[in-house]
Chain A
Amino acid sequence: MNIWAALIVAIKATVIMVAVVSVVPVLVWFERRGAGWIQNRRGPNRIMLFGVKSAGLLYPVADAIKFAFKEDIIPADSNKFYYLLAPMIMIVTALLAYAVIPLAPSAPLAGLSVQLPPMIKDIPVPFMVAPVDVGVLFILAIAGLGVYGIVMAGWASNSNYAMLGGLRSTAQMISYEISMGLSVVGVLMLSGSVDLNRIVVDQTQLIFGIVPRWNVIPQILGFVVFITAVYAETNRLPFDLPEGESEIVAGYHVEYGSMKFMLFYFAEYIALVTSSMLIVTLYFGGWSFPGMKTVMNWLAGVVATIGISGNLQSFIVSLVPLTAFFAKTAFFMVLFVWVRWTLPRFRYDQLMRLGWKVMLPLALINIVVTAIFLLVV
């Protein structure tokens, strides 16, 4: 890898990270106001900046300022090393996971290299931070690591509520990780690969010439198991037992304040974004949609009429699949919020029964059915 390739990777990593991280305040805003609208309230709308009402958009900013200026407390009887390590693990795993998700097909991005040295032109630039060919395994591994942050936070805080939260979360995440992994197996069998790029490319085909062959159609059972497991993995309602406000105050992060709490909060929402991206990539065709080529050709024509051609033209056209990907991801992020204000929290035994007695067998049945299907066809 030469210096230019490294530079491109660094720029990509920065741009994609900034994009993902700046989704979080908007998501927090939507969660609060969406909750209001679902409950026939207006939601938080009072904050003003220089006399301009911001529709409540500035509350996350106010939150961030508040977190930054809060006193940084470490409980006296806590295990300081693990207490400080836990939020770091949470934020690092959250920021790592989306690195392998392909946001758009490899594009001739060399268009931007007009002023740059010529050696850059030959490097293909896929819209993903780390083009590894074991993307699914990477994401599952990172999701598994995230449990450590929660367990450590719960244990090191030396608080009953935090430890109960940590215990619940360990049991919950480990149970659902199994059905999550098994439900993805169906997708892997269809594509014969753990490369997320390959999985997306396989979904660009059409059935009967009109219906996109997104994995959600042949893998509907696997999808149901997967999305349930994802909700449990991200500790979102109806599976937010690790936090369970009414029972254990705030769960594993009850002893955390100021910026350390913000890291937990941030990690939670980034995990939500990553999960939405993963659902889209695995089951809803990633960046592809039927008629994408037509739209891209049409856009190329429009761009050409206003006098942009060559590499810049192809760069603008390659934003079409990127936009499609973000639109689909946005839908699933909205769905996360929507479900949160619809379903009540499960009881703990119901959660375990659902995980082991329903989701696990369903995932196994899905694998068997997929295998028979592949053998017959």
Chain B
Amino acid sequence: MAVEPRYTPSERIYFAEIFRGLAITARHFVNALRGMLRGNEPNEDMWTIQYPEVKRTPAEGYRGAHMLNKDEDGHIKCVACFMCATVCPTGCITIEAEEEEEGYEWKEKRPGRFEINLLRCMFCGYCVEACPEEAISMTRDYELADYTRADLIYDKEKLLENYDRHKRGEI
């Protein structure tokens, strides 16, 4: 059922409302110009983020590119249990397990190959939730563009490097 909205008589004539509208847009116009003079940073009058120069800080808990966490000794935490690969809805995680080196026998296994295909990944974060060892988590890195498809399949080294970059506060 179509409900006719209620208008005041002046709104019905429409003519005066045109000038109210023009006043509103003029105010925004002037405010925006004032906001632009305050520099590149976005402010309440100029909402544009000047992207390459100014970067948005993603919210806490933002799901960006993954990283493989390390323990206190800098050794990979992952035990190659395949929980993440199993829960992954897109099947973008490929793991090949291998035997742990000496001194880490309690872990039994570690991944020899750990690849995440970011072109398939939908950044749902299930892998992080499924992991029993807190070995995989997500950074806030959202600048994931690259030139080739091969570059967007992140291997173990890249994911471990992401951990270091995250520790350094880069991503």
B20 and chain A: residue at smallest CB distance: A342
Residue of B25, B32, B33, B45 near A338 (CB, 8 A) is: B25
> A246 contacts the other chain (Cβ, under 8 Å)?
no
Residue of A37, A39, A224, A339 near B33 (CB, 8 A) is: A37
B48 proximity list for chain A (CB < 8 A):
36, 40-42
Residue of A36, A42, A224 near B50 (CB, 8 A) is: A42
> B145 contacts the other chain (Cβ, under 8 Å)?
no
B15 proximity list for chain A (CB < 8 A):
224
Query: A338 to B23, alpha carbons, bound, how many Å?
Result: 10
> B124 contacts the other chain (Cβ, under 8 Å)?
no
> A343 contacts the other chain (Cβ, under 8 Å)?
yes
> A341 contacts the other chain (Cβ, under 8 Å)?
yes
The answer to whether A342 touches B45, judged by C-beta atoms less than 8 angstroms apart, is no
Query: A37 to B47, alpha carbons, bound, how many Å?
Result: 10
> B24 contacts the other chain (Cβ, under 8 Å)?
yes
B47 proximity list for chain A (CB < 8 A):
40-41
Query: A343 to B28, alpha carbons, bound, how many Å?
Result: 15
> B59 contacts the other chain (Cβ, under 8 Å)?
no
> B18 contacts the other chain (Cβ, under 8 Å)?
yes
Tell me how many residues of A have a C-beta within 8 Å of chain B. Answer: 14
Nearest chain B CB to A346's CB is how many angstroms away?
10
The answer to whether A343 touches B46, judged by C-beta atoms less than 8 angstroms apart, is no
B50 proximity list for chain A (CB < 8 A):
42
* Interface mask (A212-224 → B, CB under 8 Å = 1, otherwise 0): 0000000000001
Nearest chain B CB to A16's CB is how many angstroms away?
31
Nearest chain B CB to A213's CB is how many angstroms away?
24
* Interface mask (A17-61 → B, CB under 8 Å = 1, otherwise 0): 000000000000000001011111110000000000000000000
Query: A39 to B24, alpha carbons, bound, how many Å?
Result: 11
B25 proximity list for chain A (CB < 8 A):
38, 338, 341-342
* Interface mask (B24-37 → A, CB under 8 Å = 1, otherwise 0): 11101101110110
Nearest chain B CB to A268's CB is how many angstroms away?
21
The answer to whether A343 touches B45, judged by C-beta atoms less than 8 angstroms apart, is no
The answer to whether B29 touches A37, judged by C-beta atoms less than 8 angstroms apart, is yes
Residue of B18, B33, B46 near A342 (CB, 8 A) is: B18
Nearest chain B CB to A265's CB is how many angstroms away?
24
Nearest chain A CB to B9's CB is how many angstroms away?
16
B46 proximity list for chain A (CB < 8 A):
40-42
New contact pairs (10) apart from A42-B50, A343-B18, CB-CB < 8 Å = A36-B48, A37-B36, A40-B31, A40-B45, A40-B47, A42-B32, A42-B48, A338-B22, A338-B26, A341-B25
Top 3 nearest A-B pairs (CB, nearest first) are A37-B32, A342-B21, A42-B48
Residues of A participating in the B interface, judged by any CB pair closer than 8 Å: 34, 36-42, 224, 338-339, 341-343
